[in-house]
Amino acid sequence: MTRLSPLDLDNLSPEQKAVADAIVAGPRGGLRGPFEAWLRAPELAQRAQLLGEYCRFGTSLPRDLSELAILITGKHWKAQFEFWAHARLAREAGLAEATIEAIRTGARPSFGSPKAEALHDFVTEYLATNRVTPSTYQRALDQFGERGIVDIIGVVGYYGLVSMTLNVFEVALPEGEPEPLM
């Protein structure tokens, strides 16, 4: 972290240690990304990591579409670490390389599925205008239902928080990794 000194993980407060242990023991397996910054406010860290666990591992969205929403959000916030980390996860989830590259460069991807297209249009329209038109909302509703729309909003909102944290504290990419976003 450029703006924050690394925490001494052997000398955390009891509250910080409890949250750090929960994150490490959970599905993420480590304190990457925003977590070290959040540990400075352990209650926020605990609540955010639980929300993040749901948004990444528990929504009604298929994994590839969840990763698509995350990439669009990371691109919107110009969050280098976020985009870098989730581009790999998106590939693992089966998102096409051409789709990842289109998001990275700001182009409109070609979609093979109406679900992916509806999610893309819903998220990009909202992030561009802070609103969703009735037709875009209806397409998302037809594809995902009300719960799916709530899950999309949750994913985008949580990863907006993650992206802001990464950007403000200038969380660096691993040594030797180029910044993916222009």
State the pLDDT at residue 63: 97
Distance CA 44, CA 41 (A): 5
Q: For residue 42, what is the enclosing H or E element?
A: helix 42-57
Q: What is the CATH number of domain 63-168?
A: 1.20.1290.10
Exposure string (b/e) for 148-176, b if CB count within 10 Å is 16 or more? Answer: bbebbebbbebbbbbbebbeebebeeeee
Per-residue pLDDT of the chain (182 residues; tens, 9 = 90+): 578 888 888 999 999 999 999 988 888 887 888 999 999 999 999 999 999 999 999 999 999 999 999 999 999 999 999 999 999 999 999 999 999 999 999 999 999 899 999 999 999 999 999 999 999 999 999 999 999 999 999 999 999 999 999 999 999 999 999 999 98
Every domain range in the chain assigned CATH 1.20.1290.10: 63-168
pLDDT number for residue 168 = 96
Longest dimension (CA), the chain: 53
Half-sphere exposure of 16 (CA within 13 A, CB side): 15
pTM of the model: 0.94
